[in-house]
Amino acid sequence: MLDTTEVEVVEADRNYVKLTVGRDAFHTRSTLQQAERFLESQPMLRISRSCLVNTRHVREVSRTPRGDFILVLAGGTTVTSSEGFRDPVRQYFERLKLAQV
């Protein structure tokens, strides 16, 4: 059993999803859509076709020269957004920045 608040990253891995909690990873037979519904109580942000990030665990955000986002999470995991999700990720962080002002 996992505490959903501790899940930092959910990544598709063939017929499984990989749940990253800190430095540990757990595999479960599921789809990314099923995992997303299961974790709907958490502020999950899709950053690519195969990756969801719990925004409560984001500790650092930077950009690649192409403009993709690099997110460093509390447990040390680093994930990168894809080109197709660049705009929604940018919009999310812009809204977050405005909410903090």
DSSP 31-73: -HHHHHHHTTTS-EEEEETTEEEEGGGEEEEEE-TTS-EEEEE
The predicted structure's pLDDT at residue 101: 55
The parent domain of residue 41 ranges over 4-100
Q: What is the mean pLDDT of residues 5-34?
A: 95
Decide if pLDDT at 33 tops 80.
yes
Dihedral over Cα of 74, 80, 64, 88: its sign: negative
The predicted structure's pLDDT at residue 66: 93
Angle (CA) 28-79-93 rounded to 5° is: 115
Phi, psi angle pair for 89, to nearest 5° = -70, -45
The predicted structure's pLDDT at residue 54: 97
Q: Confidence class of residue 18 from pLDDT cuts 50, 70 and 90?
A: very high
Decide if pLDDT at 100 tops 80.
no
Q: What is the mean pLDDT of residues 30-48?
A: 95
Classified as helix, coil or strand, 16 is strand
Q: What is the longest distance spanned by two Cα atoms in the chain? A: 42
**CATH number, domain containing residue 44:** 2.40.50.1020
The predicted structure's pLDDT at residue 1: 77
User: How many independent structural domains does the chain possess?
Assistant: 1
Chain segment 41-97, per-residue pLDDT in tens: 999 999 999 999 999 999 999 999 999 999 999 999 999 999 999 999 999 999 887
- List Cβ neighbours of 55 (8 Å cut-off, separation of 6 or more): 43, 44, 45, 92, 96
